[in-house]
Amino acid sequence: MRQRPAARDPAAAHPRWVTVRAPRLRNGAGGPDDDGVTTAVVPGLLCLAVVGPVLWVLWRRQARLAAALRTSRAQFTALVRSSPDPVVLLDDALHVTYASPAVADLLGLDPAELTGLPLAHAVHPEDRRVLLPALRNRAGDQGELAVRTARVRTGDGGWRLVQATVRDLRADPEVGALVLSCADLTADREGPDAELLELALTDPVTGLPNRSALVHRLAAVQRQGPARATALVLLSVDGAAAAGTTVLRAVTSRLARELRGEDWLARGTDGDFVVLVDGGLADAEVVAARLVATLGRLATPAGRLTASAGVTGLGADVDPAEALRRADLALRSARAAGPGSVHRADDALRSAAGRRSALSTDLAGALARDELRLVFQPVVDVVLDRAVTVEALLRWRHPELGDVSPQEFVPLAEESPLITELSRWVLREACATVAGLPGEQLAVAVNVSARHVGSGELVADVVAALGASGLPASRLVVELTESMLLDGHVAGELETLRGLGVRIAVDDFGTGWSSLAYLAGMPVDLLKMDQHFLADVEHDPQRRALCRGVLQLGTSLGLPVVVEGVTTHGQLALLREMGHRYLQGYAFARPLEAGQLADGGWRTAVAAGLAVGTP
């Protein structure tokens, strides 16, 4: 018989293997023959005694955090469900993970049916290329707000223009989603609240009253009559605005310390400061000289500041706009004389009287000599990516003095009945030019003067211009300033124009009377936000908050807002991010001659501006 081979010891076959035998216990207890069991067990028990409580504490803490997370999620869900505004949550793939019950009222769809659907299916194809990439990009700061606008399909197959305030909470473990709070841009909204009104009257950088508040104050002073002498100081600080927020606030603090108890400090346009002085013209000169001197001693990283000032008296016969014009004329005269100068408006008026007289005389015949012409600047809808309106702007080329600024000759025209004749001519030319554009459906906006409105001839002139040109009334926008709304005669004129189909715009909104009560009750179709709101908007968070506030104010009144003076692509991108839809300025195109408008070349410039400003 063959013998079986002896069993091989695995340890022998594999020298690296080690045989471990259990220790022998004697009487159930360790002893000298236990091969070191005692030395191994005791430290293990000690380690368990130390680690056990730690693990218990960690487990309890984890349990509390999990409970807190569940509670937080429940609270968030309750808030979303109870929000009066429709709320939609999106995941990273931009699929709907939740839609609040209010979505049913907005879109006519069952919110439960939306869960899991791609957002792209609901958004208009023309709006997807801008909206979807912007939503996919993660925000630089968790929770950063952005505003997006797009057309969204409704349950009946139609489209509704929806504005969504977007908060990126994808990195938040409690939410993990994009949160879209939606609003129907065509829905009626409640009236403006006090916080928005206060925001509209305050300069966000310095905290001082802004130009709108200043005009309110000037109007109140005018109503007081001659009972109390008051004068106006307009102070220009060279380089302060460019030096940044810190320097501006230091300037504000220095000026405030130098003023007397009854003097009132405000912020003007172009970075200027305005002081209402309790006293006459001589008191204003003393105050102005003191302010100019103290700013000259203020050192900044860019060096010492320099300042100039213009002063003028206030009276019952001088309206706020005229008072500011005189102060500005005095300031320009002081600047020409050099830093540290203080000039009176009367002296500046005398030095400018010769030029004004010559311009006023020549302007009377400028129309007959074909020296006047219109140029046109587009207003662009950045949601639909196209120009929707062009604003007609009057220009004068003097045969000897060359191009005369509208800021110089328009006030001259408004001081005489000539302005009504010019307004009538602008209406006819603007309507005829736009009506003659081949294949275009652009609207045209025309500024009208207070004299033209007050003449009682505006409605007849509008009807004549529309009839002669063949332009539909819906493609004409009549622009007027805020101060005209205070004239009781205006409401009737505007109601008649709107009955014809003409749209009414409030120009330079935020720089005049800013009477929200009048705006709420007047026949107005849109607001044009003045360009001074854009000063340093790219770098100043408070200025950006102000721009958002103006948009919210217009939305609360049910009025679209056109932003004027958009000059850089950075401003364009930022305003688009905020949700501003209608923009106008050099970022798209400079004012175009009638020939440039007719040949359609302006569309290329608008398209280029939109491409650069796309987020």
- Predicted confidence (pLDDT) per residue in 493-519, tens digit: 888 999 999 999 988 776 544 455 566
Q: Which two tokens stand for residue 284?
A: 């204003």
Please determine, for residue 480, whether its predicted confidence score (pLDDT) is greater than 70: yes
**What is the per-residue pLDDT for 326?**
87
Please, which pLDDT band fits residue 18 given cuts at 50, 70 and 90?
Answer: very low
Full DSSP string of 529-582: E-GGGGTTTTT-HHHHHHHHHHHHHHHHTT--EEEP---SHHHHHHHHHHT--E
Using 50, 70 and 90 to split pLDDT, how confident is the model at 216?
confident
3-class DSSP state for residue 100? coil
CATH for 194-355?
A: 3.30.70.270
Give the model's pLDDT for residue 174: 73
pLDDT at 200: 59
Token pair of 289 as six digits: 């000289």
Pairing of strands 402-404, 443-447: unpaired
Q: What is the pLDDT of residue 265?
A: 92
Q: Give the model's pLDDT for residue 73.
A: 54
How confident is the prediction for the chain on average, in pLDDT?
79
Fold of 371-612: TIM Barrel (3.20.20)
Lookup: tokens for 138: 């993660």
More reliable by pLDDT, 431 or 228: 431
pLDDT digits (tens, 9 = 90+) for 97-144: 999 888 998 899 998 889 999 999 999 887 887 788 878 876 544 555
501 or 62, greater pLDDT: 501
The phi and psi torsions of 51 (rounded to 5 degrees) equal -75, -35
H or E stretch including 255? helix 245-258
Query: Which of 282-286, 322-326, 562-566 comes out lowest in average pLDDT?
Result: 322-326
CB-count exposure of residue 361 (10 Å: 0-12, 13-18, 19+): exposed
Does this model's pTM top 0.75? no
- Per-residue pLDDT averaged across 368-396, rounded? 93
Q: Please state the domain extents for the chain.
A: 36-79, 83-184, 194-355, 371-612
Domain 83-184: homologous superfamily in CATH? PAS domain (3.30.450.20)
Phi, psi of 183, deg, nearest 5: -145, 140
Q: Is the pLDDT of residue 479 over 90?
A: yes
Residue 27 clears pLDDT 60, i.e. is over it:
no
For 153, residues 6+ apart whose C-beta sits below 8 A from its C-beta are 107, 121, 122, 123, 124, 159
Q: Does 8 score more than 60 pLDDT? A: no
* 352 pLDDT tier (thresholds 50, 70, 90): low
- Strands across the sheet with 264-267, in order? 264-267, 273-278, 230-238, 306-313, 342-344
Q: Residue 424: which pLDDT band, with cuts at 50, 70 and 90?
A: very high
Distances (CA, A) of 427 to 370, 430, 431: 16, 5, 6
What confidence tens digit (pLDDT) does each residue in 222-274 have?
Answer: 777 666 788 999 999 887 766 677 888 888 888 988 888 789 999 887 778 99
Strand 561-563 and strand 526-529: the pairing is parallel
- pLDDT value at residue 520: 67
**Of 82-96, 179-193, 266-280, 532-546, minimum mean pLDDT range:** 179-193
The dihedral of CA 155, 161, 163, 164: what is its sign? positive
pLDDT for position 9? 46
Average pLDDT on 202-209 reads 80
pLDDT at 197: 52
Kind and range of the H or E run holding 459? helix 458-469
**Positions of E strands within 122-267:** 145-153, 159-169, 177-184, 230-238, 264-267
pLDDT of residue 398 exceeding 60, the answer is yes
With cut-offs at 50, 70 and 90, classify the pLDDT of residue 12: very low
HSE (side-chain half, CA atoms, 13 Å) at 344: 13
Place of tokens 């926008």: 477
Q: What is the pLDDT of residue 289?
A: 93
For residue 323, CA distances in Å to 154, 274, 307, 357 come to 54, 12, 21, 20
Read off the tokens for 232: 């106006």
Check for a shared fold between 83-184 and 371-612.
no
Under a CB-based contact definition with an 8 Å cutoff, are residues 495 and 467 in contact?
no
Mean pLDDT over 179-199 rounds to 60
Q: Write out the DSSP string of 146-159.
A: EEEEEEEE-TTS-E
Closest by alpha carbon to 119, among 138, 102, 136, 140? Answer: 136
